[in-house]
Each structure stands twice: as C-alpha cells, then as structure tokens.
Structure 1
Amino acid sequence: MVVQFQTSFIPKKSPIGTAPTFGPIGRNVNVFALIALIVFFLTAGLAAFVFFYKSHLTTLITTMDTDLARAKKSFEPSFIETASRLNVRIEGVRELLDAHTALSPLFDILEKKTLESVRFQDFNFSTTNRKVTLTMTGQAKSFNAVALQSDVFGAERAFKDPVFSNFTLNEAGDVIFNFQASIEPEFLLYRETVLGGATKKAAGGIQFLEEPAPASSP
C-alpha cells in the first residue's frame, strides 16, 4: 500500500508574533510620566528649602535672644536709675528755660529805634497773667520829635498798642511824656533769644529811621 503525503506550498504564519504598537496613546503616557517626575523633584526641592530656611531662622532668633539678654546684663540697675534721674532734671531745666524771659531783645530795640533827640528814663517792666507791659518816661527836644518817635514805635512788631501821653514842658522847653506798650511774650522768651529768632523778628527787614533835619527858615 502506497502512502501519499500532501505537501502544501502555502507559507504559514510564523509562530512568533510581532510586537504590538501603542500609537499615540503610548507617547501620551510617557509625557505624563515625565511631567509627574519633574513636579515630584520640584516639590521635594521646595520642601527641602523650606526646611533648611526654617532651621536657619530658628538659629538666628536664638542667637539674637542670647545677644539681647547679654546686652541687658551689661547695663547695671544703678546706671539705669542714675540716667533716669538725670533725664528728669534735664527736662525740668528745659521747661524752665522755655518759660524764662530775657530783656536783651527789648533793650536792643530801644537802642536802635530811639531817635537822637529823644531819650527815655524810669524804665518799668511788669508781667501779669502772661501780659507783659512796658512803661517809660521820655524827654524830647520838640513835639515833632515825639510824633516821629511815635511812628517808629508804631511800626515795631514787638510793641502792641504803643501810647504816648501826659505831655508837659520843662524849664528848658523840652517835651516830657509817658510811654506805655504791651510786649509780645514770645518775643522775650529766652530760647528765642538764644536761637537768635527774637532779634531777627524785631529787626528783620526794618530800616532804622533818623530824625530829619529841621527845615531852615527863608
């Protein structure tokens, strides 16, 4: 008996399968994994930075507290008490100087603003309820000199309500009169005198007048 074998020339598929392709889905998965990895490292780095920075701040605060405690110990209680008493005395002296009055600015005005033909005497100075009053007796060569002196004192800002009164003539024919005016209290403060403010306020911008020569008769 003859055995027949059937031979087929059709090639069969290889038993080894080809690797599957993922296409666009596989690429997206790789990108997401990379982004997640980057975010992880950034978060870890930020956490490490915050930890070390917090540790640095804690150390710095501890060092500053130690230095402050050491500085407090360096000041003895007796020194602090002495400095406090000295500060109270200084403040008391400052208050006294602020309230103290000085007459030198007033004398400067009288020296600069008094005419050559006028002279003053019987100087009286009084203070009542923060009101400073100046009264004087004057002597002038003529009534014209008194009138001009009144204009000069009237333009002086240190004088308030200057008044010339009680005019009489002496045996030599000179005019005797009384003068009274109120003085601005701020003008006489000692601190203003020391700083030079009072003198500038009294004489600033004012030119001193001279008595005009009498007109000659024709």
Structure 2
Amino acid sequence: MAEPTLQTSFIPKKSLHSMRAPSSGTGVFLVIALVLFLASLTVAGVVYVRRVSLDKAINGPQGLKESLATAREAFNSDLLTTITRFDLKLSAGNELLNRHVTLVPLFEALNQYTLKTVRFTSFDYESAGGVPKLILRGEAQSFESIALQTESYVLSRQFKDIIFSNLNVDNKEKVVFELSMNVSTDLISYKEFRRR
C-alpha cells in the first residue's frame, strides 16, 4: 500500500493571477457625473450670455427703453389730454344713462295690468335704497276686484311685494284702499326702454 503524502506547507502552490477583484462600476457613475457637470456648465454659460445680450438690447443705446422714450416724446401730449378728457365725458354720460329712469313703461304697465273696476286717485313714487316703490291710493267696485287686481299684478311679474292696506267701504259703496308695491328695475330703466 502506498503511503499517503503529508502536506508540509499551507501555502498554495497555484498562481493567484486567476483570482481578480470584481469591478465595482464606479467608472460608469464617474462618467455620468462628469457629463452632467459639463452639461450644467454649458447651460449656465448659455443663460449668462443670453441675459447679457437681453440687458444690452433693453438698456443699451438704441435699446427698447430708448425707443419707448423717443416714442413717448414724439406723441402729442395735447392730443392725449384731449382724448383723456373725452373718455371721461363719455364715461360720465354712460353712467348717467345707466342710472336714468323713465316712467313711461311704468305707466304703460299700470294701464295694461290694472282692471277696469279699479281706479287710482293718487300716485307716489320713491326709490329708497335703489328699489323703486309705488304707493297708490284708489277705489275699487268690490273686494273681489281688489283680489283680482292683486292676481293681475302678480302674473305680470313687473310688480313685487304687492300689499293692499287700509281697505274701507266709502259712502258711495266703493272700496277705498292703499296699495304699495315694488317695481322691477328693468321696467323703469331708460337704457332698457331704449332697447325695446
């Protein structure tokens, strides 16, 4: 039988060249970082050059500010003053027209929606707080006429908050009353009247 050989050294006899350390990939990250750095430097340079050129175009001789100042001096200031005054007058006239009131359509609506059995003896108009209001006194042939009159005004949609009060029968067997009601602002607006 053969004798087993005993290993006297623990140092390997094979070459270690075949064992290499694995590559860590830092080279790829370094290249990417370098490319990004160069790109950011390029963009910063372009932005700086663009800013300087725009600054020269605006503030430099024959720039936009200079052109604007020249155009402003060339513009006729008297004409500008005249146009401004005319615009103010037009605005004031338009405001007056928008607030102007005409009672013609109101009387037409009263004529159209008032029953033949109802007659008014007094007419008061007021506009408190921008809400046009009528206070009318009159007489009707009966209480039924007043009820029908209320319905007629409600259906017209021109009158709101219709209140008949102080109802009494006079010595002629007529029902006397006081009527208060709000009027639609479109009904008395001169501007709306002109559009019809």
Bin for the TM-score computed over the shorter chain: 0.5 to 0.7
The secondary structure found in structure 2 opposite 1:101 is: coil
Aligned to 1:146: 146
Distance 1:101 1:190 in 2: 5
Deviation at 1:160, TM superposition (A): 3.1
In 2, the alpha carbon distance for the partners of 1:126 and 1:43 equals 77
1:118 is matched with 117
Matches for 1:186-197 after TM superposition, within 5 Å: 186=185, 190=189, 193-194=192-193
**Residue in structure 1 matched with residue 101 of structure 2 by the alignment:** 101
- After TM superposition, list the pairs within 5 Å mapping 1:69-88 onto structure 2: 69-88=69-88
User: How far apart, in 2, do the equivalents of 1:153 and 1:38 lie?
Assistant: 84
Shift of 1:49: 2.2
Aligned pair count? 162
After TM superposition, the structure 1 = structure 2 runs for residues 49-68 of structure 1, keeping only pairs within 5 Å, are: 49-62=46-59, 63-68=63-68
Which structure: larger Rg? 1
Q: Distance in 2 between matches of 1:55 and 1:151?
A: 78
Structure 2 CA distance for aligned equivalents of residues 40 and 149 of structure 1: 88
Q: Could you say what the CA RMSD is over the residues aligned between the two structures, in angstroms?
A: 4.3
How far did 1:78 drift?
1.0
Unaligned runs of 5+ in 2: 1-26
**Given residue 79 of structure 2, which amino acid in structure 1 is its aligned partner?**
F
Q: Distance in 2 between matches of 1:194 and 1:133?
A: 19
User: 1:188, CA displacement in angstroms?
Assistant: 5.3
Counterpart of 1:180 in 2: which secondary structure?
strand
| Structure 1 ranges of 4+ moved more than 6 A | 36-41
Between the aligned partners of 1:177 and 1:104, the Cα distance in structure 2 is: 26
Contact 1:158 1:187 in 2 (8 A): no
CA contact (8 A) 1:99 1:189 kept: no
Deviates more, 1:36-45 or 1:57-66: 36-45
Normalised to the residue count of structure 2, the TM-score between the two structures is 0.55
Kept in 2, the 8 Å contact 1:159–1:181? The answer is no
